[in-house]
């Protein structure tokens, strides 16, 4: 049986004092992170999840609240954990260049030190399928700022499947992209529709019947969504929420 633990569930701005996007998926054959926001090391420590459990970091797009934690993760894996086993970083085109540039800007250069573990980068494009660590992945394009190379994923672990929206506005192909998933982790930044690059409760209500998924859990909650938890018909994630698949 696989398990999903929400490490961070806020929007980009830390709404409600929550951590930024990261979801830990523990499968029978290893572990992976769906996104790695800047607060991920803090969240893993608080939830007693060892970085060593993570074989793959899967990145949805190049915004800091989704991949800004990778340089710190790598440094901690090297200096705090003395990690020995490989880490695979999978994401949209340019994943390696973007992570290296970010690490340089943060003073955490990747190139000028002895790594105790291999770091492997792998690109995945919309409609492509890739096996990584414990999972089979399929990417789909989403409606978010294009310069961030946004995409969502279907993650298959044995017979279980998780769909993850990353950041996106509503688009008509979304139901098809997540169809059949046992768990759909869907962003819901806003209460009312108004942006074409983030989803709202209003739009999800309008389209709920179009979504053919098992359990639906909303995350990436903004200021207006945080106080609505527990008062709406949708399940919402809090930091630390653990879900068995
Ligand atoms: Zn975001
Ligand atoms: Zn974003």
Chain segment 23-47, per-residue pLDDT in tens? 999 999 999 999 999 999 999 999 9
pLDDT of residue 1: 78
In the 8-state DSSP scheme, what is residue 103? H
Kindly state whether residue 129 falls inside one of the protein's structural domains.
yes
Phi, psi of 96 (to 5 degrees): -65, -45
Contact 207, 173 (CB under 8 A): no
Q: Residue 126: which CATH number?
A: 3.60.15.10
In the 8-state DSSP scheme, what is residue 213? -
Q: What is the mean pLDDT of residues 92-120?
A: 96
What percent of the chain has pLDDT above 70?
100
Q: Which ligand is nearest to the CA of 61?
A: 2
Instruction: Examine the pLDDT at 112 and tell me if it is beyond 90.
Output: no
Phi, psi of 152 (to 5 degrees): -110, 180
Domain of residue 219 covers 3-238
Distance CA 109, CA 48 (A): 27
In the 8-state DSSP scheme, what is residue 214? S
Residue whose C-alpha is closest to residue 118's, from 70, 90, 69, 83: 83
Kindly state whether residue 46 falls inside one of the protein's structural domains.
yes
Confidence tier at 91 by pLDDT (50, 70, 90) = very high
Dist. CA 65 → ligand 1 center (Å): 5
Domain count along the chain? 1
Q: Catalytic amino acids?
A: 65
Instruction: Examine the pLDDT at 93 and tell me if it is beyond 90.
Output: yes
Kindly state whether residue 160 falls inside one of the protein's structural domains.
yes
Kindly state whether residue 187 falls inside one of the protein's structural domains.
yes
Dist. CA 12 → ligand 1 center (Å): 5
Instruction: Examine the pLDDT at 195 and tell me if it is beyond 90.
Output: yes
Dist. CA 196 → ligand 1 center (Å): 14
Residue whose C-alpha is closest to residue 181's, from 236, 91, 245, 130: 245
Dist. CA 164 → ligand 2 center (Å): 13
Instruction: Examine the pLDDT at 161 and tell me if it is beyond 90.
Output: yes
Residue whose C-alpha is closest to residue 37's, from 178, 174, 187: 187
The whole-chain average pLDDT of the chain stands at: 97
For 51, residues 6+ apart whose C-beta sits below 8 A from its C-beta are 41, 44, 73, 76, 77, 80, 81, 83
Kindly state whether residue 243 falls inside one of the protein's structural domains.
no
Kindly state whether residue 245 falls inside one of the protein's structural domains.
no
Q: Which ligand is nearest to the CA of 220?
A: 1
Q: Which ligand is nearest to the CA of 21?
A: 1
For 61, residues 6+ apart whose C-beta sits below 8 A from its C-beta are 67, 91, 92, 142, 144, 145, 148, 149, 150, 151, 166, 167
Kindly state whether residue 244 falls inside one of the protein's structural domains.
no
């Amino acid at each position: 049986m696989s398990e999903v633990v929400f490490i961070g569930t806020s929007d980009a701005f830390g709404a409600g004092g929550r951590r930024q996007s990261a979801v830990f998926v523990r499968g029978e054959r290893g572990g992976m992170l769906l996104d790695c926001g800047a607060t991920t090391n803090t969240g893993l420590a608080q939830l007693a999840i060892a970085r060593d459990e993570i074989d793959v970091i899967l990145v949805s797009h190049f915004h800091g609240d989704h991949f800004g934690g990778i340089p710190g993760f790598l440094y901690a894996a090297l200096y705090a954990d003395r990690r020995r086993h490989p880490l695979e970083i999978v994401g949209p085109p340019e994943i390696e260049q973007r992570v290296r540039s970010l690490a340089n800007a943060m003073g955490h250069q990747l190139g000028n030190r002895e790594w105790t573990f291999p770091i492997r980068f792998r690109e995945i494009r919309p409609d492509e399928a890739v096996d990584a660590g414990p999972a089979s992945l399929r990417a789909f394009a989403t409606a978010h700022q294009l310069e961030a190379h946004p995409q969502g994923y279907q993650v298959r672990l044995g017979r279980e499947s998780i769909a993850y929206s990353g950041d996106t506005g509503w688009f008509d192909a979304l139901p098809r992209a997540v169809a059949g998933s046992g768990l759909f982790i869907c962003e819901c930044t806003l209460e009312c529709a108004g942006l074409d690059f983030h989803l709202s409760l209003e739009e999800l209500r309008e389209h709920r019947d179009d979504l053919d998924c098992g359990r639906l859990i909303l995350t990436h909650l903004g200021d207006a969504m945080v106080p609505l938890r527990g008062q709406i018909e949708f399940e919402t994630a809090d930091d630390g929420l653990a879900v068995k698949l």
